[in-house]
Amino acid sequence: QVQLAESGGGIVQVGGSLRLSCVSYGTIFRFNDMGWYRQSPGNQRELVATITSGGISNYAVSAEGRFTISRDNAKNTVYLQMTSLKPDDTAVYYCKADVPPPTVEATKKHYWGQGTQVTVSA
């Protein structure tokens, strides 16, 4: 019953900005580590940014300085604010939830959204 619903993708010109949103259903959101990943045709899915349940952020080198990940636990939502967009940022962006296991011996579970397309026109 876990679902992640991304939104906010679209077409933007080089140098523009977009804010992606991901609403999580079926989990206790505040306990999840969350992340944004992206994948373009012919490439592997790559990490863009993560944010822990405690609010600690981590970024790929390509994203750091331009992108900001944040979360609003009251809205069960994680955001990715993207600025200074480049054509290389064009990809399908996926939201990921890492749900903590019931015990320390168990492994966390990963859930993915369906993705939202971001196209940066050159």
Q: How far apart are CA 16 and CA 92, in angstroms?
A: 17
> What pLDDT score does 99 carry?
95
Q: What is the mean pLDDT of each run of 10 residues along the chain (122 residues)?
A: 96 98 95 97 96 97 97 98 98 97 88 98 90
Burial tier of 85 (Cβ tally within 10 Å: 0-12, 13-18, 19+): buried
